[in-house]
Amino acid sequence: MEIRLNYEGSAEALDTLRHSSAHLMAHAVLELFPGTQTGVGPAVEDGFFYDFLRDKPFVPEDLEAIEKKMRQIAQEDIPIQKVVCSKEEALRLFQERGQELKVELIEEKGDKEVTVYKQGSFVDFCLGPHVPSTGHIKHFKLLSVSGAYWKGDEKGKQLQRIYGTSFFKKKDLDAYLTLIEEAKKRDHRKLGAELDLFSFNENLGAGLVLWHPKGATIRHVIENYWWEEHIKDGYDFLYTPHLAKLDVWRKSGHTEFYDAMYPPILSEGIEYEIRPMNCPFHVMVYNSRQRSYRDLPLRWAEMGTVYRYERSGVLHGLLRVRGFTQDDAHIFCRADQLEDEIKKVILLALRLLNTFGFKDYDVFLSTCPEKHVGKLEDWDKATQALEKALKQTGLEFRVDEGEGVFYGPKIDIKVKDALNRSWQCTTIQLDFNLAERFQLHYVGEDGKFHSPFLIHRAIFGSLERFFGILIEQYKGNFPFWIAPVQVIIIPISDRHNDYASTLDKKFKENGLRSQVDIRREKVGYKVRDAEIHKIPTLLIVGDKEVTRGTASLRVHTIGDRGEIIIDEFLEKLKEMGKNKSLTVNL
């Protein structure tokens, strides 16, 4: 018998506790709802889930009853026993219990000997490990229920997935539940509707974003900054089509390796494919003429919209969509330029992400997997260049051995937000697949053909996803330089409208995004409405302000700041915009 000790403070111990919590939940479900079939119940990053097959959907009252039953079973401190039996015995055991999903799993995954875990009347086909008894599971909470497909196949059985979490200490559970409540307040889907930033429409199609004027304004600000910084770093820009002949995607390997493509479109007897990626187009531009070693490096960037089929069950606001715009770029360089180019990309990424307020990162370097394309010596050169560049920038990183994709090693930079959640943004990826398939080359100093290194990189990842992250990072209280409306002017009565309009014109002429609220509503209502829409600065103008050429200032989340001189105020706003200040300093 193998004995393995997991200590309470370790990640392995927490996984074990959560896996056992999933079993506890399934045990409770079967006692409360006999005849329910059980699917799989793993530990996940922040807790656990278990999939169930039953005709009647679970409702919130059911989750309350399940959690109550879990506590009862936990208090009974039932021993959790590992049992090794033959595959035939395991099949018979679960057939007798009517657990057809488990029978299917055992038939597919079971060896000659199979392990099952028992706790009282509950039995599960499982590799373990588990806590010694149910009494070790004390601090847990069921969170939600959603739909799931059996084995992830949308053509398979529709199951119900109950999510929960558990911890060793009550204070850790309480802290996590507080975090969840704060995350709900920051949910970009809720704030996106409240602030009139974007929407989805089922008549248009799931996962396709409609950018409203305010959201589009923020997108424009982001794109402008992105362009400016890329120009500084020596990039040129491309525009490429949204579809191409299916043969292009066959040549690139996407039809063979990529399963998120939409069905081809037939036109005049020719099959076309809407693009899931921008890469082949940039490669074709490279191959449009002969290149010399003197031409390299070539840095080409594009805000390229792509379309990928995602199952409806995994779509999630702006974070998981079917149509999105990548801040894409491809760099073609020589071997002796590789390290410097990667370093430049890392520094550019940090500069951009820092400007939006992201200072903490999780960084990963993924190396050569067992199955790969390209020469091993090129993999080694590329991996060493990635590692050296990371070290030179001073970033702490973790090496994921063998976790690179088949066509090249990569760096992933995940930003940590205000709730310390980690979000995938920047990817810096070497690509030996396209370089080989499209036979990329340049004429070297020796007059011979050489293959360039191809670096694929995106910094924000996608504008839609990055926008969703920004909304949640700031809870909709965007920094002044990003805010869609930076100043709103509220005249106290109609006779102050002309003065308010004059101020509005002055602000706009100086590059600020301002509005005048001339609705026939009370001033208090207008002020509250401006606060709800999280407008950074608010100016109120009446008789006194018109006479003096001033305004009364209110700053969002801070309150009244008193009377201000317009020209001085204007200069401060311009300075905040120029410096891309994350806070309003007035």
Which residue among the candidates 62, 328, 378, 517 is catalytic per the annotation? Answer: 328
CB 409 within 8 A of CB 431: no
> What is the model's pLDDT at position 9?
59
The closest alpha carbon to 458, from 361, 320, 353, belongs to 353
The closest alpha carbon to 381, from 394, 370, 368, 393, belongs to 368
Which residue among the candidates 330, 526, 534, 556 is catalytic per the annotation? Answer: 330
Per-residue pLDDT for 513 more than 60?
Answer: yes
46 annotated active-site = no
Which residue among the candidates 160, 326, 429, 515 is catalytic per the annotation? Answer: 326
Phi/psi at 273 (nearest 5 deg)? -125, 130
CB 571 within 8 A of CB 470: no
Whether the model clears a pTM of 0.85, i.e. scores above it, the answer is yes
Which residue among the candidates 102, 124, 219, 279 is catalytic per the annotation? Answer: 279
Mean of per-residue pLDDT scores for the chain: 93
Q: What secondary structure, in 3-state letters, does 453-482 show?
A: EEEEEECCCCHHHHHHHHHHHHCCCCCCCC
102 annotated active-site = no
Residue type, 463: L
- Give the span between the Cα atoms of 454 and 452, in whole angstroms: 6
Q: How confident is the model at residue 401 (pLDDT cuts 50, 70, 90)?
A: confident
CB 162 within 8 A of CB 52: yes
Per-residue pLDDT for 5 more than 60?
Answer: no
> What is the model's pLDDT at position 371?
81
Q: How confident is the model at residue 8 (pLDDT cuts 50, 70, 90)?
A: low
Residues 6+ apart with CB under 8 A from 365: 383, 386, 387, 390, 397, 398, 399, 400, 409, 410, 411
Distance of CA 524 to the CA centre of its chain: 39
410 annotated active-site = yes
CB 454 within 8 A of CB 316: no
Which residue among the candidates 23, 161, 410, 533 is catalytic per the annotation? Answer: 410
- Give the span between the Cα atoms of 564 and 25, in whole angstroms: 61
Which residue among the candidates 308, 372, 457, 534 is catalytic per the annotation? Answer: 308
The closest alpha carbon to 291, from 436, 444, 430, belongs to 444
- Give the span between the Cα atoms of 275 and 289, in whole angstroms: 23
pLDDT digits (tens, 9 = 90+) for 279-307: 999 999 999 999 999 999 999 999 999 99
- Give the span between the Cα atoms of 27 and 251, in whole angstroms: 51
pLDDT digits (tens, 9 = 90+) for 103-129: 999 998 888 899 999 999 999 999 889
pLDDT digits (tens, 9 = 90+) for 249-272: 999 888 888 888 899 999 999 999
Q: Which two tokens stand for residue 446?
A: 């020796």
279 annotated active-site = yes
456 annotated active-site = yes
> What is the model's pLDDT at position 373?
78
308 annotated active-site = yes
pLDDT digits (tens, 9 = 90+) for 540-564: 999 999 999 999 999 998 999 999 9
pLDDT digits (tens, 9 = 90+) for 190-203: 999 999 999 999 99
Q: What secondary structure, in 3-state letters, does 396-428 show?
A: CCEEECCCCECCECEEEEEEECCCCCEEEEEEE
Per-residue pLDDT for 273 more than 80?
Answer: yes
Q: Which two tokens stand for residue 204?
A: 């248009």
How far CA 278 is from CA of 97, 110, 320, in Å, comes to 52, 43, 18
Per-residue pLDDT for 1 more than 50?
Answer: no
Say which residue, 8 or 209, is predicted with more confidence: 209
pLDDT cut 90: percent of the chain above it: 82
- Give the span between the Cα atoms of 283 and 249, in whole angstroms: 12
What end-to-end distance do the CA atoms of the chain give, in Å? 69
Domains, the chain, with CATH or none: 11-183 (3.30.980.10), 223-240+286-303+316-473 (3.30.930.10), 487-579 (3.40.50.800)
Q: Which two tokens stand for residue 62?
A: 């059911």
E strand residue ranges, 440-556: 442-443, 449-450, 453-458, 487-491, 514-516, 537-541, 550-555
Placement of tokens 């656990």 in the chain: 48
Per-residue pLDDT for 407 more than 90?
Answer: no
Min mean pLDDT across 235-244, 347-356, 403-412 is at 403-412
pLDDT cut 70: percent of the chain above it: 98
Distance of CA 159 to the CA centre of its chain: 25
pLDDT digits (tens, 9 = 90+) for 434-480: 888 999 999 999 999 999 999 999 999 999 999 999 999 999 999 99
Which residue among the candidates 322, 456, 496, 526 is catalytic per the annotation? Answer: 456
The string of DSSP letters for 317-345 reads TTTB-SEEEEEEEEEEE-GGGHHHHHHHH
The closest alpha carbon to 31, from 87, 77, 88, 71, belongs to 71
97 annotated active-site = no
pLDDT digits (tens, 9 = 90+) for 165-192: 999 999 999 999 999 999 999 999 999 9
Per-residue pLDDT for 3 more than 70?
Answer: no
